[in-house]
Structure 1
Amino acid sequence: PYKVELIEDLPEGSEISFYSQGDWTDLCAGPHLMSVKGVKAFKLLSSSSAYWRGSEKNAMLTRIYGTAYASKDELKEHLEQMEEAKKRDHNKLGREMKIFTTVDVIGQGLPLIMPNGVIMMQELQRWIEDEETKRGYVRTKTPLMAKSDLYKISGHWDHYKDGMFVLGDEETDKEVFALRPMTCPFQYYVYKAEQHSYRDLPLRYGETSTLFRNEDSGEMHGLTRVRQFTISEGHLIVRPDQMVKEFKDCIALAQYCLQVLGVEEDVTYHLSKWDPNNKEKYIGDAEVWDQTEAHIRQMLEELNIPFTEDVGEAAFYGPKVDINAKNVYGKEDTMITIQWDALLAEQFDMYYIDENGEKQRPYIIHRTSMGCYERTLAWLIEKYAGMFPTWLCPEQVRVIPISEKFHDYAAKVEAQLKENGIRCSVDQRSEKMGYKIREARLARVPYMLIVGAKEEEEGKVSVRSRYLGDEGMKDLGDFLAAIKEEIKNKTIRKIEVQEENK
């Protein structure tokens, strides 16, 4: 019945394929293996429930996951890689580290960010916003919803309505609203609130935007694909002659963010193009699409950035550069997007006054600098297996007194750390030192300061780090100067003592 339903939904005259193996035939888009002779080793891995076609109104089906290889050794190697991936899986590790959680009664794709996760997101947000300000961005704050009228002007109502949360019914309600899936039309009206001359451009608008997208239930996973998320969003209103430079600068900002986070080697670049065989998905003429795609292609080549071209992955209003990364299981997600838009200014009647006093249409760049905060957080959890660079760690230092007699000195050390902006705590539990140190390691705290009689007498601390292990006794002022410099520079230190990683 499911195959029949899919076939009945196909347009009249569509080609229907089938594959046969032995006496078994399957109506399928394929492809299938011609023979199973090459499959020497396989293993079923897991099962899960899923609604037919992603709708809770339909029957609940079972998905069975498995893998197959040409040899037992290849299968064994793959399963070992999968075990390592599970250790880094942000969905598991993020919960263990109290970064986020989910609750059924709140809803799928609506994670609760816990205090540790909030600290990390705040650090990222402050850094991104400060960096964008340095690069000439001005900030906006726009509503989380709008009337359907706005989305009809932009084209989202016709091209993206299924991905939106709509509030109300057009047939019965005087006004219908929708939660915003993107910020661009809102920022256009910030631009339109006053008249601009050619001298005012480029105008770079930035916003830390909360967005809502109605993802299918089967697509959502942890923090990587959710229904509510926050993004480092921006829109640049530029003259056509400024477009190439500003677009390259957006790529440079994205690359800077990747470099600071230590993930620049983990990404691939994609030129996402329109599909000329499916023109109803897009607005604008073929000539405009061909020209803009050619401009982006030339820029990537000039910047010596290797890239692949993906047909049908463009936004409905323009081509884009997608910067993608794979999670620990090999699934690829888009982390950062930079879009070329030569069309929406016309629909919103946006213009600037040129040097001759004439009205001209600007171009628009839609871009993220670091992308989605939730997805980036998931990426960093898996990249570092929870052992983040010190500047991002929810807890940067743990002070461990040898016994109760040194609680007062530990409190003084803690106070000095906090006065210098270091996130820290004191472990005052009546536990053995080995247990406390092991607990700090499991919590992935980058630095432990051990304090006892000698440390108190000399006004020092004994430093243990995840990087070098036992670093010996140091003057507290020297330690403070070093960690503050590490945090300020967002240094990524290499772990040299393997036992600290166990």
Structure 2
Amino acid sequence: MEKEEFLSLYRHSLAHILAKAVIEIYGKEVQYAIGPMIDDGAYYDFVLPEGKTITESDFKTIENKMREIIKRREDWTRKVVSKEEALELFKDQKYKIELIKDLPDDETISIYYTGEDYVDLCRGPHVENSVDLMNVAYKVHACSMAYWRGDAKRDQMQRVYFYAFPSKDELKQHVKLIQEARERDHKKIGAQLDLFTFNESAPGMPYWLPRGWEMYKTLMRYSRQLQKKHGYTEISCPLINNKKLWLVSGHWAHYLNNMFIVPGIDGFVKADADFDDIAEQADEMSTSTQAHLEKGTPLYNRENIDTMAAKPMNCPNAMMVFKRTTHSYKDLPIRYSEYDVLHRKEKSGQMNGLFRVQEFRQDDDHTFVMESQIKDEIADIIAIADEIYSTFGVTYRAELSTRPDDFMGEIEVWDRAEAGLKEILDEKYGEGGYEINEGDGAFYGPKIDLQIKDALGREWQCGTIQLDFQLPHNFGLTYTNQEGNPQMPVVIHRAIYGSLERFIGIIIENFKGAMPFWLNPFQVGIVPIMESHNDYAKEVEQALENAGIRVEADYSDKNMRPKIKKFKNYKDPYILVLGDQEAANKTVSINVRGSNKQIQNVPLDTFVAICKKLNEEHTLNLPQTEEEFQ
């Protein structure tokens, strides 16, 4: 078997062993639901008899029972049964009954016996005998709350997770990787470094603290400087818009369940409206919108004009900025970058620190081009991505996402756009040097996604380049071509960081909180040994600040050791310890982050020049030897 087939077969089979073990430990009253395979193992959902709960102290007991079951060398038997037979077989298992009833009448229903006393509803495949699982390494590692079918209104269940790998060494390596990932957890590090926090009054909306906001601003400043070199101009647009804008763009029909709605007094959406009612009305409005566009008749009436929505995307407003005046082919490409706040409604269970939030910014851009300019413009965008990602020391790969089921526009236009992007990717990465995700494009056009890889080998989707023939059509955008006739532009949607919140979370974990010098919230900590050294310390602080270096100093009368420790805990790259010798010679003594060695007698001017260069060049590595400070 291929490795993926092997892992699927054994992890899926072990999920049945887990379910059987839980039933044997907690009794036949256990209700068992589903047990799918996941990336590093599998899980199974249970409802235990009243008063019983699985805790971490039970994990080893469950593992031992699984091992005991496997040692019985029981046969696995597959049977195909009718719907009626399946309902009778699982009559005491309410979740299996629900699953069976939801199956079409002509569905082939298969069941698997593990031994004679455990049976599960399953498509398979599975091992032929439990002996095949004896050399597979596994570890029960977590138990969490889950809702039946992911619905918070349904039964609450216990979800038991286990890792499973072909060998003990692979399992050991994975557990070590997981532990390292936990130590790098951006939520944990963010709290330790006072970067950001969350509050229940604004779920999924980070509060950026002074240190974190310094880093955030630095990221935006770097992006702005780089984009300016490539001919971008920046705009800022309203954060909420009337519903009519989202009707024209198509977001009202395609993205309503992810939007924060602000109902009007006579609004189309009432404050207590049920979402199904809203969605049904939105479908009706979407249909009528297209009809109005085709007929050129008014779109709106008194009943719905007051409803507003917080923007989940910048694109419709960028279309309005383009539309405000006439354009010639000589003006193109026109590049509108934008860093405005966006809001997207998420389910509470999907939010995860900075990785999945409800309020965020993107390094967004909407570029208006002629079709003949698409290739060169996307090549330039990829060049920007190359520079930004290399600055952070990460590699990336490209993916092409094609037409989704809920696409807007004509198939012929989509086919032309997808073919153009494939040609661009073939030239940049070679044929087959990128992946294709069928059906994963945006509803208005195909896209290229850029997946970066961090220090632990994990991949994250950050950059995106989306080709759009639909919004220019919906908004009636034109430019005057060389023949003097109106022509519709093509829009390229583009982001490199993606969500700045998510990108910050990624790089916090990638660098384990020890950011490159140019990005660290504060770059130099200053510690005068005694109060008598404060005057020179202030002179050093001023020299650094004049050079654009972010400095923090502690002039309190405390002992210098706790001062140094404070700045070390904040992971400041350099901590300057200043005493009589430094003041007399106009030098600094440097404690370098990650090193126990102090570099002494470095001329202040030399140190300032080195720090300034680190900022200007966005250097990844931190100078930390005496030779580098000469």
TM-score (norm 2): 0.72
Per-residue CA deviations over 1:417-442 (Å, capped at 9, x if unaligned) read 22332222223455555554444333
Q: Go from structure 1 to structure 2 and tell me whether the alpha carbon gap of 1:244 and 1:17 turns closer, same or farther (over 3 Å shift).
A: farther
2:242 alignment partner AA: K
Aligned to 1:423: 550
Quote the offset at 1:193 in angstroms: 0.8
Per-residue CA deviations over 1:387-443 (Å, capped at 9, x if unaligned) read 111111111111122334323332332233223322222234555555544443332
Please show how residues 61-460 of structure 1 align to structure 2 within 5 Å. Answer: 61-107=157-203, 109-168=204-263, 170=268, 174=304, 175-263=306-394, 265=395, 267-275=396-404, 279=405, 281-304=406-429, 306-325=433-452, 332-428=459-555, 433-460=560-587
Aligned to 1:20: 112
Could you tell me whether the CA contact under 8 Å between 1:271 and 1:310 is conserved in 2?
yes
Quote the offset at 1:154 in angstroms: 1.6
Aligned to 1:500: none
Q: Secondary structure at the match of 1:370?
A: coil
Q: Go from structure 1 to structure 2 and tell me whether the alpha carbon gap of 1:384 and 1:198 turns closer, same or farther (over 3 Å shift).
A: same
Per-residue CA deviations over 1:282-302 (Å, capped at 9, x if unaligned) read 122333222221211111111
1:390 alignment partner AA: F
Could you tell me whether the CA contact under 8 Å between 2:456 and 2:510 is conserved in 1?
no
Cα distance in 1 for partners of 2:199, 2:386 equals 35
Cα distance in 2 for partners of 1:286, 1:470 equals 65
Aligned to 1:470: 598
Quote the offset at 1:25 in angstroms: 4.3
1:492 aligned to 2:620? yes
Cα distance in 2 for partners of 1:17, 1:424 equals 68
Quote the offset at 1:50 in angstroms: 3.8
Cα distance in 2 for partners of 1:454, 1:218 equals 57
2:617 alignment partner AA: N
Cα distance in 2 for partners of 1:178, 1:493 equals 44
2:392 alignment partner AA: L
Q: Go from structure 1 to structure 2 and tell me whether the alpha carbon gap of 1:86 and 1:13 turns closer, same or farther (over 3 Å shift).
A: same
Aligned to 2:67: none
Per-residue CA deviations over 1:231-277 (Å, capped at 9, x if unaligned) read 011111111111111122112212221122222x2x221111125xx
Quote the offset at 1:216 in angstroms: 2.3
Over the matched positions of the two proteins, sequence identity in percent amounts to: 36
Quote the offset at 1:112 in angstroms: 1.4
Q: Secondary structure at the match of 2:477?
A: coil
Q: Go from structure 1 to structure 2 and tell me whether the alpha carbon gap of 1:15 and 1:320 turns closer, same or farther (over 3 Å shift).
A: farther
Could you tell me whether the CA contact under 8 Å between 2:467 and 2:491 is conserved in 1?
yes
Q: Which has the larger radius of gyration?
A: 2
Cα distance in 1 for partners of 2:566, 2:138 equals 39
Could you tell me whether the CA contact under 8 Å between 2:592 and 2:624 is conserved in 1?
no
Q: Go from structure 1 to structure 2 and tell me whether the alpha carbon gap of 1:371 and 1:70 turns closer, same or farther (over 3 Å shift).
A: same
Could you tell me whether the CA contact under 8 Å between 2:516 and 2:622 is conserved in 1?
no
Higher strand share: 1
More displaced 10-residue stretch of structure 1: 409-418 or 127-136: 409-418
Cα distance in 1 for partners of 2:554, 2:269 equals 62
1:42 alignment partner AA: Y
Per-residue CA deviations over 1:160-219 (Å, capped at 9, x if unaligned) read 222222233626564322211111111111111111121111111111021111222222
Cα distance in 2 for partners of 1:165, 1:29 equals 40
Cα distance in 2 for partners of 1:16, 1:153 equals 45
Higher RCO (Cα < 8 Å, 6 or more apart) = 1
More displaced 10-residue stretch of structure 1: 48-57 or 191-200: 48-57
Of 460, 477, 482, which residue of structure 1 is paired with 2:610? Answer: 482
Cα distance in 2 for partners of 1:68, 1:315 equals 35
Q: Go from structure 1 to structure 2 and tell me whether the alpha carbon gap of 1:238 and 1:31 turns closer, same or farther (over 3 Å shift).
A: farther
TM-score (norm 1): 0.89
Q: Which consecutive residues of structure 1, in runs of 5 or more, have no partner in the other structure?
A: 498-502
1:160 alignment partner AA: Y
Q: Go from structure 1 to structure 2 and tell me whether the alpha carbon gap of 1:331 and 1:5 turns closer, same or farther (over 3 Å shift).
A: farther
Per-residue CA deviations over 1:108-150 (Å, capped at 9, x if unaligned) read x222111111101101111212222221112221111222222
Quote the offset at 1:494 in angstroms: 5.1
More displaced 10-residue stretch of structure 1: 37-46 or 132-141: 37-46
Cα distance in 1 for partners of 2:491, 2:350 equals 30
2:552 alignment partner AA: S
Q: Go from structure 1 to structure 2 and tell me whether the alpha carbon gap of 1:332 and 1:72 turns closer, same or farther (over 3 Å shift).
A: same
Cα distance in 2 for partners of 1:216, 1:258 equals 31
C-alpha RMSD of the superposition: 2.7
The aligned length equals 489
Q: Go from structure 1 to structure 2 and tell me whether the alpha carbon gap of 1:314 and 1:453 turns closer, same or farther (over 3 Å shift).
A: same
2:237 alignment partner AA: T
Q: Secondary structure at the match of 1:195?
A: coil
Cα distance in 1 for partners of 2:105, 2:323 equals 48
2:402 alignment partner AA: K
Q: Go from structure 1 to structure 2 and tell me whether the alpha carbon gap of 1:32 and 1:106 turns closer, same or farther (over 3 Å shift).
A: farther
2:112 alignment partner AA: S
Quote the offset at 1:342 in angstroms: 2.0
